[in-house]
């Protein structure tokens, strides 16, 4: 797929190398995800799932990132970091990606699904019996929830919620009051399912579905008795969804956020999607109503929300068209039913998710709740999802008399409402709930247990690169670390005290934290590697993370590379460092791994002469993580665990020849060429390795 060339980001110093454009890099990541939907070796329904994932990612891109470009366009800014050119470039890139999605959906996936006996029937493809069933369904389940709005001075254009399904309809004739209002809007409630299975007795061979948009389209005339329905189109608008709350100026952050959530659905419009057959005057009318320029219009050849097609994957009930089920093994350093804390006293424990299960973390928390000698439990909550397992354990801890303190990040984007609800439930049973430091998101993942042992108190800690979310723990690669190291758990306790009170953060002995000193510490370590390279000593940096967009850290890496250090960056998503530029970044290589599981772990390795250091962290190398979030990183000193992390999280990915993409000097990504090498997937290798471990345990 052709795409615009990457735009350089402006830098503070003219002598510095120009960085790649962050937003184009985000879109390029989605192009790599879409590649999985194109691969014939991927099970068919999984290909559809990847198509849906890209649509979901693009929705979030417009909700969060597009406003900067749209504002610059509206201000006719031609010179700023975000300007009219970046607006045109980003929207055009997104349009090409969307067009490729629908080409793949219509020309490849739908025909292949039909061959497998899975059909999505349009109105024209439905036989008389099926049409009768659909008509009955419409009148019974759908029509009672639809309230068409005919536009006139008494009925202005209605509020259209973010990403909701709607129809615009042109009418002829007069209404019951003799008026000739010729435009009507039909808003479709979210409660209605978007994918509807037909009963088996009337389905074609296999299973058949109809889409809600097709059902409504076929019965629009029933919504306007006495009027003639002319041209029409489904449409959807994407709005700015970043919540803006001045924490310094509110008395209750939770209340302010809840109010803000009520208005999120009606933020500034940024993208309009219509059917590709939508008449020009109707799309122009919608653009005017939403105050959008022509370039923000996306004409699509199918349903305007591909995300909701994910419902079909489960409804189809066709396991042969899905990935083979993968059952994570129980953490190999733990034994089911045995004390986790007793094992921690023997040494640190590493859990590599999703190859090892999250059950080990739940077992640690459950043991703490059940143990009468445990006095206090402290935990950070960023994204827990809807799974109640951890929340139920924390509430049970309160019931059993433990001192439970939970730092809830209310501003976790798109999880605000869930986190507010959890906070209220925990408070209702007597847990101490705090919301961290004003102006900073608490993104650190830590759980600290204090236990009375004889006359002393001993702390047991859990640190993680990912969230306390049992569902995503099955889908994301992350590293959990269990330790009772005195220095490390003392640092954790200091950080909890800082989050819960106005006290200054005490000096850390082992943890590196943002926004206090993580960025500075990382730069120091990179500079040490660069100095070793100048002396001709072994000098290497290998980093695995989700995004690399912090200019300060990027330039530190570039300086070290120019001194001769060898630098390998495994960056799943956005990366602004232009690798392999002759004379500037020759010693830096960037690769991205897109696989069955979402790569989410953060691992930082530094080698300078005989010294080797390895850190795990909650933070990506982004400016927001370094300066506007509470983050933490921790060293792995145990030689066996360090070797395991290097082998499983770094080397396996550096030698991946199936799912790896390399970033070239021109800012474009290319699939790694095999060149006679054995085809190897890091994730497949680890899945097989842990299955074997589980089998022989």
- Catalytic residue positions, numbered: 443
Q: DSSP characters for 25-40?
A: HHHHHHHHHHHHHH-T
Reported for 104-107, long-range contacts at CB under 8 A and 24+ positions apart, including other chains, are 104/34, 104/37, 104/38, 104/51, 105/51, 105/302, 105/306, 106/301, 106/302
Q: Which two tokens stand for residue 436?
A: 């961290």
**In whole angstroms, what is the distance from residue 504 CA to residue 598 CA?**
36
Contact indicator for 169, 235 with CB cutoff of 8 Å = no
What is the bridge-based pairing of β-strands 403-408 and 374-381?
parallel
- C-alpha–C-alpha distance, residues 619 and 626, integer Å: 8
Three-state SS for 7?
coil
Residues 71, 76, 82, 86, CA torsion sign = positive
Determine phi and psi for 143, rounding to 5 degrees: -55, -40
Distance CA 350, CA 342 (A): 15
Nearest to 450 by CA among 461, 440, 465: 461
Helix (H) or strand (E) holding 87: helix 84-104
Contacts of 94 (CB under 8 A, 6+ apart): 27, 58, 61, 62, 298
Please state the length of the chain: 697
Q: Which of 500, 526, 501, 496 is nearest to 511 (CA)?
A: 496
Where is 613: in which H helix or E strand?
A: strand 611-617
DSSP string, 208-258: EEEEHHHHHHHTHHHHSTTSEEEEEEEEEEEE-------GGG-S-HHHHHH
478 Cβ neighbours under 8 A, 6+ residues apart: 353, 354, 464, 465, 466, 600, 601
């Amino acid at each position: 797929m052709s795409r615009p060339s990457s735009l350089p980001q402006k830098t503070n110093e003219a002598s510095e190398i120009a960085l790649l454009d962050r937003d184009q890099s985000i879109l390029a990541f989605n192009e790599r995800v879409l590649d999985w939907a194109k691969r014939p070796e991927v099970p068919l329904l999984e290909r559809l799932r990847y198509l849906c994932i890209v649509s979901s990612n693009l929705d979030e891109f417009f909700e969060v990132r597009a406003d900067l470009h749209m504002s610059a366009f509206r201000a006719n800014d031609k010179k700023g970091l975000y300007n009219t050119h970046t607006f045109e470039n980003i929207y055009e890139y997104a349009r090409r990606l969307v067009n490729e999605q629908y080409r793949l959906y219509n020309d490849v996936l739908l025909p292949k699904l039909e061959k497998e006996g899975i059909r999505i029937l349009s109105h024209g493809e439905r036989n008389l019996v099926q049409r009768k069933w659909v008509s009955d369904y419409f009148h019974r389940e759908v029509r009672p929830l639809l309230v068409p709005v005919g536009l006139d001075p008494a009925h202005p254009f209605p509020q259209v919620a973010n990403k909701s399904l709607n129809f615009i309809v042109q009418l002829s004739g007069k209404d019951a009051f003799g008026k000739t209002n010729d435009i009507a809007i039909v808003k479709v409630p979210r409660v209605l399912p978007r994918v509807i299975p037909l009963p088996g007795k009337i389905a074609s061979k296999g299973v058949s579905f109809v889409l809600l948009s097709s059902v409504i389209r076929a019965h629009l005339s029933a919504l306007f008795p006495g009027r003639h329905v002319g041209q029409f189109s489904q449409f959807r608008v994407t709005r700015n969804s970043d919540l803006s709350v001045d924490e310094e100026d509110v008395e209750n952050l939770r209340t302010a956020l809840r109010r803000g959530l009520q208005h999120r659905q009606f933020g500034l419009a940024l993208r309009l999607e219509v059917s590709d057959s939508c008449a020009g005057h109707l799309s122009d009318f919608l653009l005017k109503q939403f105050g959008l320029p022509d370039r923000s219009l996306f004409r699509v050849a199918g349903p305007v929300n591909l995300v909701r097609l994910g419902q079909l994957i489960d409804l189809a009930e066709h396991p042969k068209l899905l990935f083979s089920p993968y059952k994570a093994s129980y953490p190999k350093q733990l034994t089911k039913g045995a004390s986790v804390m007793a094992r921690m006293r023997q040494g640190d424990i590493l859990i590599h998710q999703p190859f090892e299960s999250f059950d080990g973390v739940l077992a640690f928390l459950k043991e703490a709740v059940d143990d009468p000698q445990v006095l206090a439990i402290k935990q950070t909550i960023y994204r827990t999802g809807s799974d109640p397992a951890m929340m139920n354990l924390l509430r049970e801890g309160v019931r059993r008399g433990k001192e439970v303190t939970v730092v809830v990040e209310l501003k976790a984007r798109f999880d605000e409402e869930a986190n507010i609800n959890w906070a209220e439930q925990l408070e209702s049973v007597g847990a101490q709930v705090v919301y961290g430091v004003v102006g900073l998101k608490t993104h650190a993942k830590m759980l600290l247990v204090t236990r009375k042992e004889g006359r002393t108190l001993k702390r047991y800690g859990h640190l993680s690169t990912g969230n306390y979310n049992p569902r995503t723990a099955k889908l994301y690669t992350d590293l959990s670390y269990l330790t009772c190291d005195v220095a490390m758990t003392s640092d954790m306790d200091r950080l909890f005290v800082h989050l819960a009170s106005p006290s200054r953060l005490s000096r850390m002995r082992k943890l590196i934290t943002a926004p206090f000193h993580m960025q500075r510490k990382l730069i120091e370590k990179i500079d040490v590697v660069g100095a070793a390279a100048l002396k001709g000593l072994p000098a290497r940096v290998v980093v695995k993370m989700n995004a690399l967009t912090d200019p300060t850290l990027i330039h530190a890496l570039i300086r070290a590379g120019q001194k001769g250090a060898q630098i390998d960056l495994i960056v799943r998503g956005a990366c602004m460092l232009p690798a392999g530029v002759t004379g500037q970044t020759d010693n830096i290589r960037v690769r991205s791994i897109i696989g069955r599981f979402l790569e989410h772990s953060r691992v930082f390795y530094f080698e300078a002469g005989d010294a080797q250091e390895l850190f795990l962290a909650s933070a990506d190398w982004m400016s927001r993580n370094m300066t506007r979030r509470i983050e933490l990183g921790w060293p792995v000193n145990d030689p066996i665990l360090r070797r395991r992390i290097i082998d499983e999280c770094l080397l396996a990915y550096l030698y991946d020849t199936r799912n790896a993409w390399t970033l070239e000097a021109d800012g474009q990504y290319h699939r790694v060429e095999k060149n006679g090498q054995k085809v190897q997937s890091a994730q497949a290798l680890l899945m097989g390795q842990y299955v074997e471990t589980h089998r022989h345990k």
